[in-house]
Amino acid sequence: MAKTTKAAAKAPAQNYAAFFKKLKEFNVQYVSFRFTDLRGKLQHTAQHISTVDEALLRDGIMFDGSSIAGWKSINESDMILMPDVATAQLDPFTAQPTINVFCDVYEPSTGAPYSRDPRSIAKAAEAYLRSSGVADTAFFGPEAEFFIFDDVRINVSMNKVSHEIDSMEGPYNSDKIYEQGNMGHRPGIKGGYFPVQPVDSSNDIRAEMVTVLANMGV
């Protein structure tokens, strides 16, 4: 494994005391160090609290970049996760108390941010925008649109490629026989944007999602 000295020297000053206070406050047992690949897919590696100290946070966590699509070949796969403890959030779903921390990805050989790390790309874009004089702030974020399905099937085989989705709300299920009965309350084609209950059958789960996100500071 390559040494982390150069990358650690470039790590920004962080409030580690506040981070460890949060770990103690919530009796955290695991820390999930998270990052995204070039396609925006969330990745992580978790460590038990007994291995998480200031030295680990300051020097970073070595990992194999060859397992991430579009990143490194096996002969140059060493990479460093540099935790940004300001992003620490208690995970609302894990069985064991877990803190999630987003990380920047660094090159161990140069100590520079990795050019295919989305966080590094966003920071470089913001720096360029500021240096150009066009603006001094940039905002990046996902489009928060998603769908809830009851069944998703995908097949890629020698003689067949297919995908099929199903939802009880689909208008194509208007005459389907369900064991509990078919109440007929479902949106029509492009009719699911603004209806109220009972057509809006996802009202409760959507409200729960938004409440959890709000509690996490989003």
Tell me: pLDDT of 4 over 70: no
- Confidence at 5, pLDDT banded by 50, 70, 90: very low
Mean pLDDT of 189-211: 90
The reported pLDDT for the residue numbered 12 is 65
Q: Which region holds residue 181: left if phi is over 0, alpha if psi is between -120 and 50, else beta?
A: left
Structure tokens at 80: 């460093």
| 12-21, 95-104, 142-151, 195-204: range with lowest mean pLDDT | 142-151
The reported pLDDT for the residue numbered 10 is 53
The reported pLDDT for the residue numbered 19 is 95
Mean pLDDT of 123-136: 90
Q: Are 70 and 101 in contact (CB under 8 A)?
A: no
Tell me: pLDDT of 97 over 90: yes
Q: Are 174 and 187 in contact (CB under 8 A)?
A: no
Convert the pLDDT of each residue in 30-66 to its tens digit: 999 999 998 889 999 999 999 999 999 999 999 998 8
Tell me: pLDDT of 136 over 80: yes
| 17-21, 72-76, 111-115: range with lowest mean pLDDT | 72-76
Q: What is the DSSP letter of 19?
A: H
Structure tokens at 60: 């970073």
Helix (H) or strand (E) holding 81: strand 78-83
The reported pLDDT for the residue numbered 1 is 43
* Percentage, residues of the chain above pLDDT 70: 94
